[in-house]
Amino acid sequence: SPILVWFRRDLRLTDHPALYAAAQTGRPVIPVFIHDDLVEGLAAAPKWRLGLGIGCFADALRDKSSQLVLRKGDALEVLQELITQTGAGSVYWSRLYDPETTARDRRVKDALKNQGVEARSFGGHLMFEPWTVETKTGGYYKVYTPFWNSVKNRAVDAPLAAPATLTTPAQWPDSDDLADWNLGAAMRRGADVVRPFVQLGEKAAQSRLGAFMAHGVAEYKANRDLPGVDGTSNLSENLSLGEISPHQCWHAGQRALHDGKKGAETFLKELVWREFAYHLMHHTPRLLDQNWREEWAGFPWNEDERCAEVKAWKQGRTGEPFVDAAMRELYVTGRMHNRGRMIVASYLTKHLMCHWRIGQKWFEDCLIDWDPASNAMGWQWAAGSGPDATPYFRVFNPATQLDKFDKNRDYTSRWIAEGRAKAHPDALAFFEAIPKHWNMSPDDDYPDRIIALDAGRLRALDAYKNRNF
């Protein structure tokens, strides 16, 4: 009988344990993607990017003489319907780890097993399953460095090849038309503006990894902090949808290290930050939507996301060039350099004293590399409410950060057009992407600071001193 392989955030053919196992059986394989409530609930940019990813993956399957069957509805009902229609005896998928998906998958697995269908979940999204990494006393890790120490010498599965062939079913079940799902509908900003920055699909991800290993990784340690230099792998976009596996990145990094490229160790460590985020989300799902340090619930955050400060922050007009450049980069490219993410998050939660959830939500809306675990961990790290976080009293100064990490102003001049006779095309693209009612033009004067850095810092430190925990 056929095997249904249910794809979710694992849009690749190589190093895909579930697909590999299905192909090994020699039975017909029916790849399926289901548009259910969890897909419906995605924010604008991740949903749009998912739509592109699905289209590209469907093409890759067609090259293998296979197909991606698209269906909309409750995941269990869709699978049951497909089982009836195709006579499938098994459903395989790759595990995910956020609480909503885990609950859905458990329900699906139990129901399918009860009706005598083989339901198997596989790894692939992570190198280290969150429950397999334990402290000496059997707990989970709350601090990164010991987590790193405990996994760094572990054997990571070698990447699997793509199945040479996929046996096709006697008859393909009907499929929806991807265009009818309209996954880009919620993109407020011009999708055409973001599209040139997307590197779509498994082949592009492999080229990205190859190029980074050839040209970027050796100097990664020094360059990764400089937003004006293309010094990082940019793989987060592809890792987010599983267009590449962390294992493939890890083994490439290990080979580079072996070849004497020193920056590779830092790269491996960053991959493990992603694993750490998942470890935390698995063990403490409150990471996603509540202060991880529960006492922070009493902190006097401003929670009004419509206030003028939040508006200026989102629109990249705080008058703080590093912050504004990064927010505009986000809006245009759907990504933001890690240094920028740290600075804008610190600025929002400290200088502006706004709740980290406001920033988390805006990032979720805008990022094409949105990852539930890394985004939540990043925000709680910056705000001081998270595990292994930067302390609240350590307030990044965006002006001194600029002198340190964007000395020649390569980054800020790429993203800020106001006051420049010859603005960079990317800085101008921002004005094409934004809605009219933002009422911004490249011919405007660059805005004054909405808050003096000292005043903002002192206000935040006062609130922290007077906190009731």
H runs (alpha helix) in 198-315: 201-211, 220-223, 236-240, 246-258, 263-283, 308-314
Q: Which of 2, 334 has the CB closer to ligand FAD?
A: 334
Under DSSP, the state recorded for 34 is: E
At position 313, the amino acid (one-letter code) is W
Contacts of 325 (CB under 8 A, 6+ apart): 227, 316, 340, 411, 412, 414, 415, 416
Q: What residue type is 54 in one-letter code? A: I
Token digits of residue 106:
């458990």
Query: Contact between 235 and ligand FAD (CB under 6 A)?
Result: yes
Identify whether the C-beta of residue 68 lies closer than 8 Å to the C-beta of residue 12.
Answer: no
Interacting positions 255-284 with ligand FAD (CB under 6 A):
270-271, 273-274, 277
Q: Does 224 bind ligand FAD (CB under 6 A)?
A: yes
Binds ligand FAD (CB under 6 A): choice among 310, 326, 345, 440: 345
Q: Is 380 one of the binding residues for ligand FAD (CB under 6 A)?
A: no
Task: Using the rule CB under 6 A, give the single segment among 35-43, 375-383, 390-398, 412-420 that binds ligand FAD.
Answer: 375-383
Q: Token digits for 300?
A: 């006097």
Min dist CB 373 to ligand FAD, Å, is 8
Find the shortest distance in angstroms from Cβ 234 to ligand FAD: 4
Nearest to 123 by CA among 276, 46, 20: 20
Q: Scanning the structure block, which residue is given the tokens 């230099």?
A: 229
What are the CA-CA distances from residue 231 to residues 228, 256, 321, 331, 341 (Å)?
A: 9, 16, 21, 20, 16
- List the 118-122 sheet strands across, edge first: 69-72, 29-35, 3-7, 90-94, 118-122
We find the least distance from the C-beta atom of residue 171 to ligand FAD, in angstroms, to be 40
- Tell me phi and psi for residue 30, to 5 degrees: -115, 100
Residue 207's CB is within 10 A of a number of other CB atoms, namely 11
Sign of the dihedral defined by the CA atoms of residues 403, 405, 407, 409, in that order: negative
Residue 256 or 345 having the CB closest to ligand FAD: 345
Q: Provide the H-helix boundaries in 334-436.
A: 338-346, 356-366, 372-383, 398-405, 410-415, 425-433
* 371 touches ligand FAD by CB under 6 A: yes
Among candidates 422, 282, 299, which has minimal Cα distance to 355?
299
The token pair that represents 85 in the structure block: 């229609």
Is residue 333 close enough to count as binding ligand FAD by CB under 6 A?
no
Q: How far is the CB of 101 from ligand FAD (least distance, A)?
A: 16
Task: Report in angstroms the alpha-carbon separations of 31 from 13, 53, 143, 162.
Answer: 11, 15, 39, 14
Region near ligand FAD per CB under 6 A, out of 148-156, 296-304, 373-381, 415-423:
373-381
Binder among 61, 330, 382, 423 for ligand FAD (CB under 6 A)? 382
Does 232 interact with ligand FAD (rule: CB under 6 A)? yes
Binding track over 48-87 against ligand FAD, x by CB under 6 A = ----------------------------------------
Which residue has its beta carbon closest to ligand FAD? 378
Decide if residue 13 touches ligand FAD (CB under 6 A).
no
Binding to ligand FAD by residue 47, rule CB under 6 A? no
Q: How far is the CB of 174 from ligand FAD (least distance, A)?
A: 35
- Partners of residue 120 on adjacent β-strands: 92
The verdict on 395 binding ligand FAD (CB under 6 A) reads: no
Out of 175, 284, 338, 390, the residue judged to bind ligand FAD by CB under 6 A: 338
Cβ 3 to ligand FAD shortest distance, Å:
30
Contact with ligand FAD (CB under 6 A): which of 66, 67, 86, 236? 236
Region near ligand FAD per CB under 6 A, out of 307-315, 317-325, 339-347, 402-410: 339-347
User: Residue 33 in 3-state DSSP?
Assistant: strand
Residue 301 vs 431, nearer CB to ligand FAD: 301
Is 375 a binding residue for ligand FAD by CB under 6 A? The answer is: yes
| 329: contact with ligand FAD by CB under 6 A | no
Of the residues 86, 374, 401, 412, which one makes contact with ligand FAD according to CB under 6 A: 374
φ and ψ of 106, to 5 deg: -65, -45
Q: Which stretch binds ligand FAD (CB under 6 A): 21-29, 65-73, 364-372, 450-458?
A: 364-372
Phi-psi region of 154 (alpha: psi -120 to 50; beta: other; left: phi over 0): beta
Q: According to the binding rule CB under 6 A, does residue 239 interact with ligand FAD? A: yes
Beta carbon of residue 218, minimum distance to ligand FAD (angstroms, whole number): 13
Query: How many residues interact with ligand FAD (rule CB under 6 A)?
Result: 27
Instruction: Enumerate binding residues for ligand FAD (CB under 6 A).
Output: 224, 232-236, 239-240, 270-271, 273-274, 277, 338, 341-342, 345, 363, 367, 369-371, 374-375, 378-379, 382
